[in-house]
Amino acid sequence: MRISISLSVLLGTVITAQNILSDPGSLGPTPEIVHLYYDQWPTGIAVSASGRKFSNYPPLDPANVGGYTVAELTSNTTEIPFPSAEINTPPGGRVNFTTYPPTSANYQNYLIGVQNVVIDPADRLWILDTGRTSLPDGTLLLASYGGPKLIGVNLTSNAIFQTIIFTPTAAPADSYLNDVRFDLDPSLTPSGQGIAYITDSSSEGRNAIVVVDLGSGEAWRRLENHPSVHPDPDFVPWVWGQPVYMNPGQNQTITNVGFGADGIALSADKQTLYYSPVATRNLYSVPTALLRDRSPYAVQKTNAAVQLRGTKGIPMD
């Protein structure tokens, strides 16, 4: 009898634990569809304090190559190029065919390949342009100076108030500027305009965190080639029970997902930056004060201060 009771209690405990760990399939209110995407696939969405919605479409897929790369979502089914149709339409296109092999165009005043749009704490929209586009067969082209940039838009006037052009040192030709977060604390820089932190997730180049002085426009790389910003070469993500691989382009060999530092977030007090490569489940952090440090041994101090915070559930940002 005693054994029977013990087994019953044990089985009850296991069943309860299984119920707790199961996914109910829903949480909170019923999801609401606010916009339907048709012709292009987005990689970012930003919502202003007043509820305005913006998305971006990097020209990495044939469906995105010829269209606009940033839009304001005006209804469930409509959108318009933002901040204008003109800036989304580089003269002569996004590809420079005068070089061999072709490269991405180098227009400083036009959008080439936007990977993200983000609203900062002052309710301004920032557009992060990788400066890279692709050919119709999916081949990703190198960036040219003038292409990689960070553009600030005043949402009251819809006017561009700042364009920061990244040097090849801050954003090499094979970089891929992915995501950005802002700290507008005026005490951080002499200009008082704050700092931006950007992940470089390139699958071809040197992964890093790019730090930007929003006042001077100066940018520098930190944690470059540090293991915490690199993808795990053996990592294979699974989605709905299926392995996911990269298809670099027509007639090219399929490879493992090779994207580095991608997801990024600031702590509430802005003292810590959290980040993670796509091709890993690891989550890392580093003090923001060290990322901003420009002293002679800043690189070594920053590298030594990286902490592994644990693992995340899915290999995304």
Per-residue model confidence as pLDDT tens digits over 100-134: 999 999 999 999 999 999 999 999 999 999 999 99
d(CA 200, CA 228) in angstroms, rounded, equals 12
Q: Are 249 and 199 within one domain? A: yes
123 close to 155: Cβ distance less than 8 angstroms: yes
pLDDT at 42: 92
Query: Would residue 262 count as lying in a domain?
Result: yes
Query: Would residue 25 count as lying in a domain?
Result: no
Total structural domains in the chain? 2
pLDDT at residue 166 greater than cutoff 90: yes
Chosen domain end from 165, 189, 214: 165
Sheet holding 307-311, edge to edge: 261-266, 272-277, 282-287, 307-311
Q: What is the pLDDT of residues 271-281, one digit of tens each?
A: 999 999 998 99
pLDDT at residue 15 greater than cutoff 60: no
Helix (H/G/I), strand (E/B), else coil: 78 = coil
Confidence band of 57 (pLDDT split at 50, 70, 90)? very high
d(CA 233, CA 212) in angstroms, rounded, equals 29
Q: Are 38 and 141 within one domain? A: yes
Query: Would residue 141 count as lying in a domain?
Result: yes
Q: Are 173 and 286 within one domain? A: yes
Structure tokens at 167: 């040097």
DSSP character at residue 229: G
In which residue are the tokens 């006042």 written?
A: 215
* Closest to 206 measured CA to CA, from 176, 237, 239, 161: 176
Task: Give the whole-number percent of the chain exceeding pLDDT 70.
Answer: 88
Structural domain of residue 288, as residue ranges?
Answer: 166-317
**Domain CATH number, residue 317:** 2.120.10.30
Query: Would residue 263 count as lying in a domain?
Result: yes
Structure tokens at 293: 């440090």
Q: Are 46 and 144 within one domain? A: yes
Chosen domain end from 149, 165, 181: 165
pLDDT at 4: 35
Q: Are 299 and 170 within one domain? A: yes
d(CA 16, CA 73) in angstroms, rounded, equals 45
Q: Are 40 and 132 within one domain? A: yes
Q: Are 174 and 294 within one domain? A: yes
Q: Are 313 and 173 within one domain? A: yes
Query: Would residue 105 count as lying in a domain?
Result: yes
Write out the H or E segment, with its range, that includes residue 200. Answer: strand 195-200
Q: What is the pLDDT of residues 196-243, one digit of tens each?
A: 999 999 998 899 999 999 999 999 999 999 999 999 988 888 888 899
46 close to 119: Cβ distance less than 8 angstroms: yes
Q: Cβ atoms within 10 A of the Cβ of 146, count?
A: 17
pLDDT at 11: 34
Q: Are 261 and 247 within one domain? A: yes
| Geometric angle at alpha carbon 96, from 90 and 99, rounded to 5° | 165
**Domain CATH number, residue 149:** 2.40.10.500
Query: Would residue 9 count as lying in a domain?
Result: no
Chosen domain end from 118, 148, 165: 165
Query: Would residue 6 count as lying in a domain?
Result: no
Q: Are 252 and 269 within one domain? A: yes
Q: Cβ atoms within 10 A of the Cβ of 239, count?
A: 10
Q: Are 93 and 238 within one domain? A: no
* 0.85 surpassed by pTM: yes
315 close to 281: Cβ distance less than 8 angstroms: yes
Query: Would residue 23 count as lying in a domain?
Result: no
In degrees rounded to 5, what are phi and psi of residue 80? -130, 145
Q: Are 214 and 306 within one domain? A: yes
